[in-house]
Amino acid sequence: FGVFLKPLTEDFGWSRGSVSGALAIAGLFTALFRPASGWLADRYDPKYVALTGVALGGAALIALSRINTLWQFYALFIVMGTGFTFASPATITKLVSAQFTRRRGLALSLAGSGSAIGETALVPFAAVVLTLGGWKSAYIALAIVLLVVVIPVAYLLLSVRGSGGEDDVSGGDSLNLAAEDKLPACAWAPDEGLGLRQAVKTPMFWGLSAGFFA
């Protein structure tokens, strides 16, 4: 977000506070829609929930390159934030956990690290593109990364069983983390683990909630 702050204020004459408001509003909508992303990941294949979110975020980035007014900027940040919510840890954790058992902790840590590394790498990438071609080109370049690189790779490599075992590809085999520990076809069934009513009665739930709130 910081890469685009100065060029946007200079091109449109908006204050930095006005531009930054989009990030605050997007964060609010992200919080509101996070439970929905978890519910969708439980009810449907989390792979497609995540890919739909990435596609929505990529489409919003393309649209951001065409904005003319502040309200358009705000609206598209809400759309983008909502899309990325569906590809959030709530969905990715479900996706990764369905493919690994024996070394699930390692797999989850790698998935989390990938997110942080990706965010770090995209900052200088966006800065270079912005310097060479302007902020509109930078938004389009980021969209291309999501739509042309991330979605096809994720579609081909990620697989979750949940339709009677028809999708029988194990990420554990390809990463050699849990090749001998494959999960059954119902690995991500909605009734797996504690339900919300049970979870809110445990100290662990409130401890995690407090940590994420902080």
pLDDT value of position 116: 84
CA-based nearest residue to 54, from 191, 147, 165, 119: 147
**CA–CA separation, 64 and 105 (whole Å):** 37
Is it the case that residue 18 has pLDDT exceeding 80?
yes
Averaged over 18-29, what is the pLDDT? 92
Is it the case that residue 168 has pLDDT exceeding 80?
no
| 114-148 as b/e: b if 16+ CB within 10 A | eeeeeeeeeeeebeebbeeeebbebbbbbbebbbe
Confidence of residue 160 (pLDDT cuts 50, 70, 90): low
Q: What is the pLDDT of residues 40-99, one digit of tens each?
A: 988 888 899 999 999 999 999 999 999 999 999 999 999 999 999 998 888 888 888 888
Is it the case that residue 170 has pLDDT exceeding 50?
no
Cβ neighbours around 78 below 10 Å, total: 18
Burial class (CB in 10 A: 0-12, 13-18, 19+), 154: middle
Is it the case that residue 14 has pLDDT exceeding 50?
yes
Confidence of residue 100 (pLDDT cuts 50, 70, 90): confident
Confidence of residue 165 (pLDDT cuts 50, 70, 90): very low
pLDDT value of position 185: 45
Averaged over 100-125, what is the pLDDT? 87
pLDDT value of position 171: 44
| Dihedral Cα 87, 32, 202, 113, nearest 10 deg | 30
Confidence of residue 148 (pLDDT cuts 50, 70, 90): very high
Query: 3-class SS at 93?
Result: helix
Is it the case that residue 173 has pLDDT exceeding 60?
no
Averaged over 182-200, what is the pLDDT? 62
